[in-house]
């Protein structure tokens, strides 16, 4: 980032110092640092994961956005890229991984399947979009999205990060941490604990 | 291809009098026999007639006739046409068929799949658990009378959306507003159980070593979220110290119901779905499916289309092997650097796919009777530049960097050995089989398309270890380059479609098994048509899935660190394993 880009517009800096000095707010420089070092979770589900690998390789190179450090452990990562079809057998694990990620955390639903089930939506083992269980920040369309589309989605995440003031961001406030998402269970079909009353009532109908 | 040659037909019925009866339904071939004769027949078939390779086991649900059928395809590893035989049993639970695992151990996972999806109990199977769905799932989903939660109609296009073109959310029609359904009287609070119990019980069944110190064994799970399992694959191992004493692969985490959806789709609608099977080699998946349906329709693609198909299939093989080599090196600890070299070349191949089909990965390029469109202007020039100049040089470069490397040699040579006998026994195919010394390649064993016109060698290595599997992939890339070079030179002019383009194809009733030598191994499509616009049965013989049968036996006795290397050398793609 150019230093004049970091500079807040109301501050006048002498031209000879503009290359060296920027006067900015804490929010801006903090979020600038945060947005340029998003560590994704190394986590591939299906076809989209291959395009994610291509995005990390030399031609597309997500290192340009500070995102090349993919961490296999959810404890060390900020961004979860849901790259592929979410199945009923897999969703308990995805929710557990999401719960294990520290705040602030972001979720990018890559491709049609992660966003809404995609071509496999009608399947008996397919979850109709990962947002049925975990909150999603950015949806990237495509089947699979090209690496360029993924990069665009990552830039959107960066834009979102830059708009989060420290003072009001939820994870810096006092009070309890975000409640964990209840982990779905596998029974005769997938059971979302939040839907248990509905399942019991639905039975009565 | 699945049809037995006439001479063998005579042999078989004379050899087994009273046991076999020919399948006389129109469009069908092969033999029907009784369940009580199955084991005797299969033993004789393997030991006396030399059909040592069980390619595919699958089930078909004939709901209107009230019977279930189990279909077996067996071949000789020396090449030639195969034998198809079928067991028919009444469609009333419990449906029981003798297990062939004792004769062809390669049937293990395929029979488990048939149990999971069709509810056929294979008596005598050593470990009959569900394989793709979880233990405790309600029903056997591939049965024709089992309906998924979003079920609307038996066949597409759905009347609620077509021809008016209405947009309807499938959720709006479901009771819970989601893709779920429960059996009547189900109470989620009182009826919770552990789907993992059966797996751990199966893991504990192994021969304890009575010699030496009595040590504690621990169970370790790798995956499903693990950076080296190539997706969402899980391996549960029992360890004695560092040594593996038992191993069970757990799959189904990407089971996206390919076959069930495929039986609702029309024939042509399935083409883009095949792309998503083995998503690294979509063109050769297209090829297999197109071959199977063309065999049913009795259509021959045009000359130019045949050449384009072969070129695309071989390019796919190169792209896939590059990825496999990069991924194996990742698993061996050379983190991402060899992968970058491999991906650089792969990107150039993807550029060609994008030019011809419009998509980098999901090409959806083949049609019944040809290919979707001709090569765009300049593509042939690009292919020539790549295949006559750049690729041969680059492959040698990658080979030079890797094959003499000390770490690769010590991690690879003599490790994870699969002997030739075992490779055949476990129905391994592709590079896994050829690295074990069996020169079996469907392109030569039973030539399809126009492979008989090209000069190329069936690559074979003899040690069957991790290193040989890596080297086989390099050699296969070289052979594929040779094939593409010949195809480019011979490419004729002309149309690329034998039929006029249409939205729906008319497929006469019958069965067909189309198999191609995919990059991962023998990829087969078993398609049954009953004359309607949708296939009655659509089964994929997925090489990655069946190659995993050998995974456990290779690993037992090895160190735990080698599991990852062996898995990398088998080269699986989860889209195909789980379908």
3-state secondary structure B60-93: EEECCCCEEEEEEEEECCCCCCCEEEEEEEECCC
Task: Tell which of B141, B153, B179 to mutate to test the A interface (max A CBs under 10 Å).
Answer: B179
Between positions 265 and 294 of B, the ones with CB within 8 A of A are 272-273, 276, 279-280
Strands lying side by side in the sheet with B83-90? B20-22, B31-33, B83-90, B67-75, B53-62
CA distance A152 to chain B (A): 18
Which domains does chain B show, CATH number per domain?
Answer: 6-123 (3.30.460.80), 258-578 (1.10.645.10)
Residue A6 in any domain: the answer is: no
Residue A168: per-residue pLDDT: 84
Whether residue B276 and residue A47 make contact (CB cut-off 8 A), yes or no, is yes
Domain containing residue A146 = 25-198
User: Are B142 and B116 spatial neighbours (Cβ–Cβ below 8 Å)?
Assistant: no
> Does the structure show a pLDDT above 70 at B446?
yes
- In this structure, what are the phi and psi dihedrals at residue A31, rounded to the nearest 5 degrees? -70, -30
pLDDT at B5: 46
Closest-CA residue of chain B to A128: B179
Residue B6 binned pLDDT confidence (cut-offs 50, 70, 90): very low
Among the listed residues A130, A133, A71, A131, the one whose alpha carbon sits nearest the alpha carbon of residue A102:
A71
Q: Mean pLDDT across the stretch B489-504?
A: 84
Pairing outcome for strands B95-98 and B67-75: unpaired
Specify the pLDDT at position A3: 54
Which residues fall within 8 angstroms of residue A56, CB to CB, at 6 or more apart?
A: A62, A63, A68, A70, B336
Chain B contact set for A42 (CB, 8 A):
227
Segment B217-232, tens digit of pLDDT? 889 888 788 877 677 8
Residue B33, Cβ neighbours under 10 Å: how many?
Answer: 21
- Name the residue in chain A with its Cα closest to that of B189: A196
B257 touches A: beta carbon within 8 Å:
yes
| A189 located within any domain | yes
Sign of CA dihedral A132, A136, A138, A142: negative
Mean pLDDT of chain B: 87
User: What is the enclosing helix (H) or strand (E) of B434?
Assistant: helix B431-434
Shortest distance between the Cα of A157 and any Cα of chain B, in A, equals 23
Q: How far apart are CA B520 and CA A117, in angstroms?
A: 27
ipTM, two decimals, is: 0.88
Mutate to test the interface with B, among A125, A141, A204 (most CBs of B within 10 A): A125
Contact A132, A121 (CB under 8 A): no
Assign residue A139 the CATH number of its domain: 3.40.50.12280
What's the pLDDT score for residue A148?
92
For residue B301, give both structure tokens.
């693609």
CA-CA distances (angstroms) from residue B371 to B267, B365, B503? 15, 6, 14
A83's tokens:
């790259």
Q: Lowest-confidence range among A90-99, B175-184, B185-194, B275-284?
A: B185-194
Asked if residue B2 has pLDDT above 50, the reply is no
Cα separations (Å) of B335 from A66, A74, A113, B64, B327?
18, 19, 29, 55, 9
Q: What is the pLDDT of residues B455-491, one digit of tens each?
A: 998 999 999 899 999 999 999 999 999 999 999 999 9
Separation CA A26–CA A64 (nearest Å): 24
pTM for this entry: 0.90
**Per the domain annotation, does A62 fall within a domain?**
yes
With 0-12 CB in 10 A as exposed, 13-18 as middle and 19+ as buried, what is B160?
Answer: exposed
Chain B, residues 506-525, CB within 8 A of chain A, namely none
3-state secondary structure of B21: strand
The answer to whether A55 and A108 are in contact (CB under 8 A) is: no
pLDDT digits (tens, 9 = 90+) for B307-331: 999 999 999 999 999 999 998 888 8
pLDDT tens by residue, B331-343: 888 878 888 999 9
Domain count, chain A: 1
Q: Is residue A172 part of a domain?
A: yes
Please give the pLDDT value at position B313. 92
Residue A2 has what pLDDT? 56
Residue of A nearest to B175 (CA): A202
Tens-place pLDDT, residues A128-170: 989 989 999 999 999 889 999 999 999 999 999 988 888 888 8
Q: Does some domain include residue A75?
A: yes
Give the pLDDT confidence of A76-85 residue by residue, as tens digits.
898 999 988 9
Please list the residues that pair with B69 across neighbouring strands: B60, B88
Distance, in Å, from the CA atom of A53 to the CA atom of B319, rounded to the nearest integer, reads 14
CA nearest to B304, candidates B380, B234, B203: B380
């Amino acid at each position: 980032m150019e230093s004049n880009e970091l500079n807040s517009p109301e501050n006048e800096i002498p031209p000879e110092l503009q290359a060296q000095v920027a006067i900015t707010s804490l929010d801006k420089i903090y979020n600038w640092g945060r947005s340029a070092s998003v560590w994704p979770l190394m986590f591939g589900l299906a076809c989209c994961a291959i395009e994610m690998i291509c995005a990390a390789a030399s031609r597309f190179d997500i290192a340009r956005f500070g995102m090349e450090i993919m961490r296999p452990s959810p404890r060390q990562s900020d961004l979860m890229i849901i790259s592929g079809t979410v199945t009923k057998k897999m969703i308990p694990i995805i929710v557990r991984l999401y719960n294990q990620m520290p705040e602030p955390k972001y979720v990018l639903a890559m491709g049609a399947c992660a966003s809404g089930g995609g071509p496999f939506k009608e399947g008996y083992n397919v979850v109709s979009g990962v947002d049925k269980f975990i909150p999603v920040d950015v949806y990237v369309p495509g089947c699979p999205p090209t690496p360029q589309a993924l990069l665009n989605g990552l830039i959107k995440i960066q834009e979102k990060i830059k708009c989060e003031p420290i003072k009001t961001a939820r994870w810096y406030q006092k009070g309890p941490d975000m409640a964990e998402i209840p982990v779905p269970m596998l029974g005769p079909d997938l059971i979302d604990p939040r839907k248990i009353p509905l399942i019991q009532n639905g039975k009565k109908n | 291809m699945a049809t037995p040659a006439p001479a063998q037909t005579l042999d078989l019925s004379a050899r087994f009098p009273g046991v076999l009866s020919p399948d006389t339904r129109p469009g069908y071939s092969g033999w029907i026999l009784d369940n009580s004769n199955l084991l005797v027949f299969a033993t004789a078939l393997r030991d006396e007639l030399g059909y040592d390779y069980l390619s595919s086991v699958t089930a078909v649900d004939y709901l209107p006739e009230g019977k279930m059928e189990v279909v077996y395809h067996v071949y000789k590893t020396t090449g030639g046409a195969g034998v198809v035989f079928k067991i028919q049993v009444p469609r009333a639970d419990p449906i029981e068929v003798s297990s062939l695992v004792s004769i062809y151990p390669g049937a293990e996972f395929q029979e488990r799949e048939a149990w999971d999806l069709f509810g056929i109990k294979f008596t005598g199977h050593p470990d009959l658990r569900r394989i793709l769905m979880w233990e405790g799932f309600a029903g056997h989903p591939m049965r024709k009378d089992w309906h998924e939660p979003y079920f609307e109609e038996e066949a597409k296009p759905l009347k609620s959306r077509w021809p008016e073109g209405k947009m309807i959310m499938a959720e709006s029609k479901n009771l819970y507003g989601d893709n779920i359904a429960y059996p009547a009287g189900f109470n989620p609070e009182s009826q919770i159980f552990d789907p993992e119990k059966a797996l751990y019980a199966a893991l504990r069944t192994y021969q304890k070593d009575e010699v030496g110190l009595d040590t504690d064994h621990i169970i370790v799970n790798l995956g499903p979220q693990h950076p080296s399992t190539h997706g969402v694959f899980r391996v549960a191992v029992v360890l004695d110290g560092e040594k593996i004493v038992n191993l069970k692969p757990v799959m189904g985490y990407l089971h996206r119901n390919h076959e069930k959806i495929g039986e609702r789709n029309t024939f042509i609608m399935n083409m883009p779905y095949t792309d998503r099977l083995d998503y690294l080699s979509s063109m050769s998946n297209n090829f297999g499916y197109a071959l199977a349906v063309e065999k049913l329709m009795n259509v021959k693609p045009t000359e130019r289309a045949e050449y384009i198909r072969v070129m695309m299939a071989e390019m796919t093989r190169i792209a896939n092997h590059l990825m496999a080599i990069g991924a194996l090196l990742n698993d061996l600890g050379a983190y991402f650097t060899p992968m970058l070299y491999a991906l650089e070349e792969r990107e150039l191949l993807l550029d060609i796919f994008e030019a011809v089909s419009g998509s980098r990965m999901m090409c959806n390029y083949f049609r019944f009777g040809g290919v979707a469109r001709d090569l765009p202007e300049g593509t042939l020039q690009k292919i020539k530049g790549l295949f006559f100049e750049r690729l041969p040089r680059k492959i040698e470069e990658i080979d030079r960097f890797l094959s003499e490397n000390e770490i690769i040699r010590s991690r690879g040579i003599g490790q994870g050995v699969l002997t030739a006998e075992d490779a055949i026994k476990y129905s391994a195919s592709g590079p896994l089989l050829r690295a074990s010394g069996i020169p079996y390649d469907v392109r030569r064993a039973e030539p399809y398309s126009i492979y008989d016109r090209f000069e190329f060698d069936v690559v074979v290595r003899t040690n069957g270890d991790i290193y040989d599997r890596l080297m086989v992939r390099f050699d296969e890339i070289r052979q594929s380059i040779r094939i593409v070079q010949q195809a480019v030179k011979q490419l004729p002019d002309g149309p690329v479609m034998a039929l006029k383009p249409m939205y729906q194809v008319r497929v006469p009733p019958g069965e067909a098994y189309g198999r191609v030598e995919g990059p991962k191994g023998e990829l087969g499509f078993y398609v049954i048509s009953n004359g309607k616009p949708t296939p009655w049965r659509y089964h994929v013989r997925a090489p990655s899935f069946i190659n995993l049968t050998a995974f456990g036996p290779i690993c037992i006795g090895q160190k735990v660190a080698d599991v990852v290397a062996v898995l990398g050398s088998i080269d699986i793609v989860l889209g195909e394993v789980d379908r």
